[in-house]
Amino acid sequence: MNKLLNILSLLGSFLIVFGVLFLVQDITIGRIYYVKNLIVYNFLPFKYLVFTASSLLIILRFVDFYIPKRGK
């Protein structure tokens, strides 16, 4: 049970950091007219691809998630 809770905590932390980074990029860079109107494959805005890739890169490079060790 503790392992499941630790995994859920780790996943939740990752998703919160990802969401915050994505929103900050969308609010700042995403408002540029040129970036806002680019479409890939006639349905996917280009900014979603760029913001997802850059958010993942920032998280993997600079953010350290860990599960606390419990002593027995």
The predicted structure's pLDDT at residue 5:
82
pLDDT digits (tens, 9 = 90+) for 32-69: 777 677 777 888 888 888 888 988 898 888 888 777 66
Residue 44 pairs in a beta bridge with 40
Q: Are 56 and 14 in contact (CB under 8 A)?
A: no
Q: Bigger pLDDT: 61 or 31?
A: 61
Question: Could you tell me which residues come within 8 angstroms of residue 53 by beta carbon, excluding any fewer than 6 positions away?
Answer: none
The predicted structure's pLDDT at residue 20:
92
Give how far Cα 5 sits from Cα of 9, 12, 26, 28, 36, Å: 6, 10, 31, 35, 39
Q: Count other Cβ atoms within 10 Å, centred on residue 55.
A: 19
Question: Any idea where the domains of the chain sit in the sequence?
Answer: 2-62
